[in-house]
Amino acid sequence: MIHARIAYTGYSPHRFTVSRAEWSLIWDEKNRPLIDFTSGWNVTNLGWNHPEIAEAMVEQIARNTYAPLWGSDPVQEEYAERLVASLPEQLDTCVKATGGTESVEEAIKIARAATGRKKIVGFRSSYHGQLFAAMTLGFPPELLAPIAPGVPEFVQLDFPREDGSGSELNQFSKSLETVLSNMEVAAFITEPGIVTGWGSVWTAPAGYLSLVRNLTERYGTLLVVDEVGTGFSRTGHLFGIGAEGVVPDLVCLAKGISNGAAALGAVAGKHAIIAECAESANLTSTFWWTPVACAAAIKTLEIHRRDDTARQATEKGEFLLQELTHRLGDHVSVVDIRGRGMELWIEVDSSKTYRTVLELAWKFGLHATGDNESLLQVMPPLTIELQDLKEGVNRLVRAFDAVREE
């Protein structure tokens, strides 16, 4: 789709201009307010245009706005210190990036350079970014076909979706061990027990991340956890790895890292791994960690920790899941309602229902989106006021009720 001379991809039946945005509200080009249930896809976790973050950026602009590739600005070094201090102590070194895709690509380069192996393992129908390696990692072959060939030596497994049978993890363990046992896999890349970016919110059984940590260590494979979507309090922990206390070799971060105020990403990992291959993996980028972006990221991290935003995500997520289940669980068009923290999705019976509900929600003053097929995203800013959260649910239920009446 082309709008205002700019090319866009789907995910929403609406293409509008944001005239302004504040906390959990956005205004379209007609200056009509809408409650936001997207957070820009897990970006504005602290609410749109947080004033403290804006103030920190303005102060940094007055000092310096760029640092050369071969040097650093004090604010970059400060952010590195603060970021690793918020992660398990073994993850003590940072690699700068400009966003989620670049952080994943950097992790792949590090894994291959550090291990001398080539194979990378991930999940089919998962999302890790928009460059060739990241797309090859998660995109189904049929969707990658228009721009194929992808990057060689990638292996896709089926995600062990939690279905209550109790056998999912055991079956997956056998599949993963078969792939890893040939000692050719450089890295296994996964979100922390959930698939978010593909628009599915599949969740794995408890113990999943501990299982893959044990197997990757056994066979000399690096464990890379993609926290681009789950990081910064979204699933009820500051970082998703906190749910099981697992320490991976590398963690990829972006999206909520600066609350949408500036482009920034990071790989945090173990010093011994990164130091060994920083040169050979060619870890460089012209606009990585600009000082202004780092100022935004420092303030973002400070607010998450100061205000215990992860607790808010847990409490509001529980309320949201209960409300949606109670009010929509028996709806004829609803297949499932699932998720963790404030990472929730409603699966519906058809693409027609999906589009109709989103269009009606928009009409009723709710901004929502999804996978463009059958999964509606319910991911408000984590700081949303309870009254706005309740009203957003009311508008969404009203949209589903209108579908029922058709």
What pLDDT, in 10s, does the model give residues 88-142? 999 999 999 999 999 999 999 999 999 999 999 999 999 999 999 999 999 999 9
Whether the pLDDT of residue 167 is over 90: the answer is no
* CA max distance for the chain: 63
Instruction: Pick the range with the lowest mean pLDDT from 77-86, 161-170, 320-329.
Output: 161-170
User: Tokens 């973002």 belong to which residue?
Assistant: 300
Query: Cα 221 to chain center, whole Å?
Result: 23
In which residue ranges of the chain is CATH 3.90.1150.10 found?
2-50+308-405
pLDDT of residue 16: 77
Cite the residue boundaries of each domain of the chain with CATH code 3.40.640.10.
Answer: 51-306
**Token pair belonging to 316:** 């509001």
Query: Higher pLDDT residue, 329 or 199?
Result: 329
Record the tokens describing residue 157, joined without a space: 């497994």
In this structure, which CATH number among 3.40.190.10, 3.40.50.1820, 3.90.1150.10, 2.60.40.3950 belongs to the domain 2-50+308-405? 3.90.1150.10
Q: Are 260 and 381 in contact (CB under 8 A)?
A: no
**Please, are residues 59 and 232 in contact by the beta-carbon 8 Å criterion?**
no
- Say what the pLDDT of residue 8 is: 72
Name 6's Cβ contacts closer than 8 Å, sequence gap at least 6.
none
Query: How far apart are the C-alpha atoms of 302 and 238, rounded to whole Å?
Result: 11
Helix 291-306 crosses helix 51-63 at what angle (to 10 degrees)? 150
- The CA angle 330-400-389, to the nearest 5 degrees, is 95
Mean pLDDT of 167-195: 93
pLDDT at residue 197 is higher than 90: no
Mean pLDDT score across all residues of the chain: 93
Give the side-chain half-sphere CA count within 13 A for 376.
36
Closest CA to 204 of 231, 239, 170: 170
Helix, strand, coil % over all residues of the chain, rounded to 5: 40, 20, 40
Sheet containing 119-123, strands listed edge to edge, beginning at the edge strand earlier in sequence: 93-97, 265-269, 250-253, 222-226, 185-190, 119-123, 154-157
Task: Please report the pLDDT score of residue 11 as a whole number.
Answer: 57
- Going 138 to 139 to 140 to 144, the CA torsion angle's sign is negative
pLDDT band at 194 (very low <50, low <70, confident <90, very high): confident
Please report where in the chains the tokens 């984590």 appear, as a residue.
382
Supply the pLDDT for residue 163: 75
Q: Which of 68-72, 346-350, 395-399 has the lowest mean pLDDT?
A: 68-72
Domain covering 51-306 in this structure, CATH number: 3.40.640.10
Query: What is the structure's pLDDT at 198?
Result: 75
State the average pLDDT over residues 383-388: 97
Model confidence, pTM: 0.94
Q: 163-172, 231-240, 378-387: which has the minimum mean pLDDT?
A: 163-172
Q: Please, which residues have CB within 8 angstroms of residue 144's CB and are 6 or more apart in sequence?
A: 135, 136, 150
321/13: higher pLDDT: 321
Residue whose structure tokens are 């009254």: 387
pLDDT for 406 beyond 70: no
CA distances to 11, 42, 84, 310, 337 from 359, rounded to whole Å, are 12, 21, 43, 31, 20
Q: Which residues pair with 120 in a beta bridge?
A: 154, 187
Q: Is the distance from CB of 273 to CB of 297 less than 8 angstroms?
A: no
What tokens appear for 403 in the block? 């579908």
pLDDT tens digits for range 4-49: 777 776 555 666 788 899 999 999 989 999 999 999 999 999 999 9
